[in-house]
A = this chain, B = another copy of it.
Amino acid sequence: MSNQPQTLAKQPHIIVIGGGFGGLNVVKALQDAPVQITLIDRHNYHLFRPLLYQVAMAGLSPADIAAPLRVIFKRHQNVRTILADVTDIDAEQRQVILASGERLAYDLLVVATGAVYDYFGHASWAHHAPSLETIESALEIRRRVLSAYEAAELEPEPAARQSWMTFVIIGGGPTGVELAGAIGEMANRTLHENFRQIDPADTKILLIEALDRLLIAFPSDLSDKAHQALEKLGVTVRTNTKVIEIAEQHITVQTGDQLEKIAAHTMMWAAGVKANALGQVLQQRAGADLDRKGRVKVLPNLTLPNHPEIFAIGDLTYFEQDSQPLAGLAPVAIQQGQHVAKQILRHLSGQPLQQFRYWDKGIMATIGRASAVANIKNIHLSGYIAWLAWLFIHVIQLIGFRNRLSVLSQWVWNYFTYARSVRLIVDRRADATDDQSKVEPSKVQSAKEL
């Protein structure tokens, strides 16, 4: 589509892997620079992950928090977007290798593929307790939570009914707190009067945390505030409690020496994370050092040792500032992306690279509908005012005017009506039809289980 292939071919080619907060900000800052950029992502959209829990909890639709990458960069002819999996990096030849086998040559490479939830070696747990990672997994969590109430409504036996109405969230970080708060709100307000055999207010919500308090990244007074706000929503917070086993219909936890088996069908995992598998590729192919979570240790200027042409940023990386590792937060990835873009321009004009320094604007987490905690430059906020700040900051950071408008108007709507308008149970199977003649044994089984 370009009219000047000659000129363009001479410009340095930058490949950015990952269209999350880090990668997106690299490309944005370079979209008018004299470089050719190829952005590779396995999804065709940028996802605003801080609001993904609202998709899982039926408050927002996926499209409200996602923006197609092609639309974001549509006016910038120097940006090419590719929907593909990167399986390998040939650091010698400076090539990125796609799942199709295709090789793309780069002059400079930015790896920003993020982190995934870590089940600490228990592969089967992922099946029973999905984590909030992608749109797909958010829709799966939504399906399980809503289906559990449908199953409870049909279950005559009280103990079995209660196990359908028991939700266990593992991990007391911001995501776990947000999920637990949202279920509490749904049980107490949204589902009120919706059922005939069950009372959704009987819902049991357990939030399991291995450490001695929730939200360990926050000051302890805000942990206490969050704890109290959750209890008010009917959430039972279990600190100092470890998960021993997760199965189809129960979870076993340990507090001190006490083992406890809890009957539940719906579990969610929001515990530890590890780096995306491209970290290992960088270790094997570019000699990068990894920490125990598989995160790539980068130099202060965000390049890899011995590879000044490879940058790595965001949750994929391990970065120490003032002898403290930076947390895996969106603002860190955003600032690192902006920093890398600036370094690329310096590199091209022959200037030396600068060190990255994170500017901490604060952290926040929300608990249900009108409560949050925030630590902003050591000012501790909680309750309604923190929630308003949380809402404001998240809405303005969304990509695209339409998304901002849509999320804000739905929030206002949900706030006053307690509605969760996106309460659709969408089948996992793409070939789900309304033809009852096509009912297969597996479907019948699932209807029974349900």
Contacts and interface: CB of A to CB of B under 8 A. Distances in A.
Contacts of A116: 433-435
Interface stretch (A82-90, A284-292, A297-305, A329-337): A82-90
Nearest to A58: B63
B195 A1 contact: yes
B100 A447 contact: yes
Given A99-B439, A426-B135, A447-B100, A419 B140 contact: no
Interface stretch (A38-46, A163-171, A234-242): A38-46
A324 interface: no
Given A70-B194, A146-B44, A448-B100, A136 B427 contact: yes
Interface residues of A, number: 93
A140 B421 contact: no
B434 A419 contact: no
Given A83-B425, A424-B62, A74 B193 contact: yes
Contacts of A199: 1
A422 interface: yes
A1 B2 CA distance: 67
Given A82-B154, A436-B113, A44 B424 contact: yes
Given A154-B82, A402-B419, A447-B85, A68 B134 contact: no
Contact of A436 (B70, B196, B278, B435): B278
A74 B192 CA distance: 8
A277 interface: yes
A85 B435 CA distance: 10
A16 to B, nearest CB: 15
A320 interface: no
A350 to B, nearest CB: 29
A309 interface: no
Given A82-B153, A133-B434, A433-B116, A439 B87 contact: yes
A34 B147 CA distance: 30
Nearest to A118: B435
A413 interface: yes
Contacts of A203: none
A403 to B, nearest CB: 8
Nearest to A115: B434
B134 A196 contact: no
Given A2-B196, A196-B1, A434 B276 contact: yes
A402 B418 CA distance: 13
Contact of A85 (B1, B413, B423, B444): B444
A428 interface: yes
Contacts of A102: 154
A431 interface: yes
Interface of A: 1-2, 42-45, 61-64, 66, 68, 70-71, 74-75, 77, 80, 82-87, 98-102, 113-114, 116, 126-127, 130, 133-137, 139-140, 143, 146-147, 150, 153-154, 191, 193-197, 199, 276-278, 280, 400, 402-403, 405-406, 409-410, 413, 417, 419, 421-439, 443-444, 447-448, 450
Given A1-B199, A62-B426, 16 more contacts: A2-B196, A45-B423, A61-B61, A61-B64, A61-B422, A63-B422, A66-B424, A70-B191, A71-B194, A71-B419, A84-B154, A85-B436, A99-B439, A136-B433, A140-B430, A277-B438
29 contacts: A44-B423, A44-B424, A45-B423, A68-B423, A71-B419, A77-B196, A83-B154, A84-B154, A84-B447, A86-B436, A99-B448, A100-B154, A100-B447, A113-B434, A114-B434, A116-B435, A134-B432, A136-B430, A136-B432, A137-B433, A139-B426, A140-B430, A143-B430, A276-B435, A277-B438, A400-B421, A406-B406, A409-B409, A428-B430
